[in-house]
Amino acid sequence: MPLDHYVTLGRSGLRVSPFALGAMTCGEDPGSAGCSVEESEKILATYLDRGGNFIDTANFYSNGHSEKILGDFLAAHPGRRDRVVLASKFFGNLFPGDPDGGGAGRRSIIAQLDETLRRLRTDRLDLYWLHNWDRHTPIEETLRTLDDLVRAGKVRHLGFSNTPAWVTAQAQTMALLKSWTPLIALQVEYSLLARTVEGELAPLALDQGMALVPWSPLKNGFLSGKYRRDVQVTDSARTAFVGGPSDDEYTVIDAVAAVADELGTTSAAVSPAWLRAREGIVVPILGARRLEHLANNLGGLETALTSEHLRRLDEVSAPTLNYPAAMHGALSAMLQFAGTTVDGEGSGVYPPLVQSEVRH
């Protein structure tokens, strides 16, 4: 599947590439672990030339430099801005000592958007994400402000990132009941090494017709193929920040590598291909600090995993989900179906019912 075989992003009319390009690595500002302006522009040009149209950044990435690199690049290529689905995020505070410099209150959202639009050299965003849950601001204030920005034409669509499912569900219900702009997508950590999203957020997205836009589909590069057991990896910037894989993570890494070998491809291609095979609309965000990284990741477009490959990867990476997830599988079926089969799901019989009359 090429990058120009687009998908509809959630319950909206917005068409995006099956992989988004993440711009967190654009810029070499202190603490960013990113790449130079020149390398960033090569990556952007390659992604767009191959038909990609979905670029994701945030006000906080590289202290605002990521947005500026994107804005300068698009301004230098007339006509490209109108063909790009440009997304950014608000929440991060770039002004030390100013409590209203970040977060999700009305004043801070409006100020952050104005700064983002200035750096991006555009008059609107196609998608604006809440980057994190602001526990100190009522969700209705955030939603009403975002709806005002949509009505003003500064923002086209809305999404949440890194926000609890109960807050997201509350927000979506409120937006629908008040005829405010609803959420069309959730940006979440999701990979073969990070599947806890399947407990609450993924089912919520599926139920509400939201797309899932996974960040770090290679889990900090652990699933890129570079990490192998008993192989020393020298990446001081990354390992200083996240450390190395655990023994359990290496079990998954080994399984991904085995599938890649069978298919004649790379681990970096298998991992996003697995995400694209999940239920619903799933649009992984590819991050790249080098042009060759992007090329390897885009291999996921051409990687077709068989049902057997998917089964093996699902089993080896199966997550332990928080309560009450364990109550909703086989135990739930056993308690309610009493040995019958409903919607294709069978059950055993709960022991106390075996030898007792319960119907009067």
How far is it, in rounded angstroms, from Cα 269 to Cα 247? 22
Q: Is 61 left (phi over 0), alpha (psi -120 to 50) or beta?
A: beta
Q: What percentage of the chain's residues is helix, strand, coil (to nearest 5)?
A: 45, 15, 45
How far is it, in rounded angstroms, from Cα 189 to Cα 185? 13
Give 87's Cβ-side CA count (13 Å radius): 29
How far is it, in rounded angstroms, from Cα 90 to Cα 105? 10
Torsion, Cα of 68, 71, 77, 80 (10° steps): 140
DSSP alpha helix (H) spans, 266-348:
267-276, 291-298, 307-316, 330-337
Contact 165, 204 (CB under 8 A): yes
Both tokens of residue 211?
């797309």
6, 61, 128, 227: which is the annotated catalytic residue?
61
61 catalytically annotated = yes
Tokens 């694209």 sit on residue: 276
What SS3 state is found at 16? strand
Catalytic residues: 61
